[in-house]
Structure 1
Amino acid sequence: MDDLIYLYGLIPTKEADNQSFPSLKGFDGTGELYTIPVGNITAIVCKLDRETYSEESIKDRINHDMEWLQEKAFHHHETLITLSKIFTVIPLKFCTLYKNPDSLKTTVQSNESRMMGTFDLIAGHEEWNLKIYCDDQLLKKRVSQSNPVIEAKREEISQLSKGKQFFEKKKLDKLIESELEEEKNKISEKIHLHLKEFALKGNVKRTWGTDVTGRKDNMTWNGVYLIAESKVENFLEKIQQYEEEMRKTGWQFEVSGPWPAYHFSIFS
């Protein structure tokens, strides 16, 4: 029975023809990566034993073997990074498998127009990620002291009897939390819009909780940007400027990249 085909990514065939392909180990650690040309698009793949890497066995390893998952996910990611330094790559999701070369070719052929459009979009660009963190206690103190909505509420409470003040102060605490979140979003959105001026595209991702980040401060923003190589330096300088200006007020910036265009590619 034929082996399974593990698909890492897709590159323009004209680039595959003009650049030598690196020697890279495949997903199983023994076989090597190779290419399958499909017209104007070339798939970068490796072979996997059908029994060892069946859909059921992979699901079981993903659900029950964290060490294996981390090792293989790291391999997939590092392989794509290596390839993206040489080619314009449409990166595929972790564990994208095909039953045989023909099924892979059918998928590529049916999506050729969209894939070629994606190559045009991401060529000469890099993906960068920015996570913004905030010390809520520092910002809450500033919001509590300077926010006109909160000041108006305090003034309203001061005019009430002591009995009513107790319950209204509970509402005030909730109002401060609400205004804090609004302030965090407003500041982060403003930064995001400024950074998009350097990018061809900029998207917002879901923020992570402290249980995932392992940090004490909260993530207030998670943005991803597709930036022309010529503008990356200016983009990074702008983030450094924000970091220097806002550090004392409890804001921190974590930028990473360049990455393969995971968030701006078809099928990613």
Structure 2
Amino acid sequence: MGNLIYLYGLTPTTEMEKRALPSITGFDGKSSLYTLPIGETTAIVCELSEEEYNAKNIENKVNNDMEWLQEKAFHHHETITSLHQQYTFIPLKFCTIYEDPENLQATISASEEQLSQSFKTLHANEEWTLKIYCKEQKLRDAIKKSHPALEKKKEEIAKLPRGRQFFEKKKMDSIVDKQLEQEKDLFGEILHEELKSIATNYTVKKNWDKDMTGLKEDMVWNSAYLVAKEKVEVFKDKILTFEEQQADTTWRIEATGPWPAYHFSDFSQGEEKQYANNS
């Protein structure tokens, strides 16, 4: 059996000619990263044994070996981050694997114009992410104390027989639940409206659950922005000002970057199919 090609990402060939690839260990922990120049684009790759890293084996590892998955995902992330810090870099998804160099070359050659435009965009911009977390119980308590409809409902319930009070209190809980979801959505949307006017591009993503974040607070907003380098300080200041205006420990705003541009590279998004997608 031959070797597969693990693709980490792509960079302009002109940049690679000016700055040599650093010594980085490959996905299997034994090989080293190397470059494949393909016209104006250079692919940064490593070789993998087809016997060990074919699609069936990787799928089995991903589904059944959490320790392996965490180790390899960490390696991929750290490698991508390191390369992003040195080059204008289009990152590829975890386990983007090609059967051989010819397949990879054909894919890149067919996307030459698209890649050229992506490099220009990424060279002038940075990717930043925004995540907002909420202490739900604290927000729930605040709603119970201040919501006008609840105050009126409390007065009505106090005048009812005990048997009726139980059911009416359930209705009151429903009002709280509805208001809670509205306020969680609204908080993120208000800040997002300000940030998207600064950004070159943006995307709103699905919130992560607590199993993914490992946090006690609920994630209530998750978005990414492509920001022109000259506007990054304005972008960060806008978030800081918004945070200071809240003066409230119910919310936690987490803005981080710059990150490898996973969300704003057409080629990267087009290669989302993972686990030996070309073998």
Is 1:33 equivalent to 2:33 in the alignment? yes
- Paired residue total: 268
How far apart are 1:247 and its partner, in Å? Answer: 4.9
2:43 counterpart residue number? 43
Structure 1 residues 219-247: Cα deviation after superposition (integer angstroms, max 9, x where no partner): 11111111222222332233333333335
Structure 2: distance between partners of 1:163 and 1:114 = 68
Moved more, 109-118 or 126-135: 109-118
Structure 1: distance between partners of 2:95 and 2:229 = 29
1:146 counterpart residue number? 146
Identity %: 49
1:132 partner amino acid: I
2:277 counterpart residue number? none
Aligned runs of 1:1-268 on 2, under 5 Å?
1-151=1-151, 153-154=153-154, 163-266=163-266, 267-268=268-269
Q: For structure 2, which runs of at least 5 residues remain unmatched after alignment?
A: 270-279
Structure 2: distance between partners of 1:77 and 1:231 = 26
How far apart are 1:132 and its partner, in Å? Answer: 0.6
Structure 2: distance between partners of 1:168 and 1:153 = 8
Structure 1: distance between partners of 2:120 and 2:168 = 58
Structure 1: distance between partners of 2:249 and 2:85 = 38
How far apart are 1:248 and its partner, in Å? Answer: 2.7
Q: In the superposition, relative to structure 1, how do residues 149 and 123 fare at CA in structure 2: closer, same or farther (>3 Å)?
A: farther
Structure 1: distance between partners of 2:95 and 2:135 = 38
1:251 partner amino acid: W
Structure 2: distance between partners of 1:203 and 1:152 = 40
Structure 2: distance between partners of 1:121 and 1:31 = 32
1:96 partner amino acid: T
Structure 1: distance between partners of 2:240 and 2:141 = 25
The secondary structure found in structure 2 opposite 1:248 is coil
Structure 1 residues 94-150: Cα deviation after superposition (integer angstroms, max 9, x where no partner): 111111111111111222222222222222322222211111222223323333444
For normalisation by structure 1, the TM-score amounts to 0.90
For normalisation by structure 2, the TM-score amounts to 0.86
1:130 partner amino acid: L
Q: In the superposition, relative to structure 1, how do residues 25 and 197 fare at CA in structure 2: closer, same or farther (>3 Å)?
A: same
Structure 1: distance between partners of 2:240 and 2:65 = 39
Q: In the superposition, relative to structure 1, how do residues 165 and 233 fare at CA in structure 2: closer, same or farther (>3 Å)?
A: same
How far apart are 1:211 and its partner, in Å? Answer: 2.6
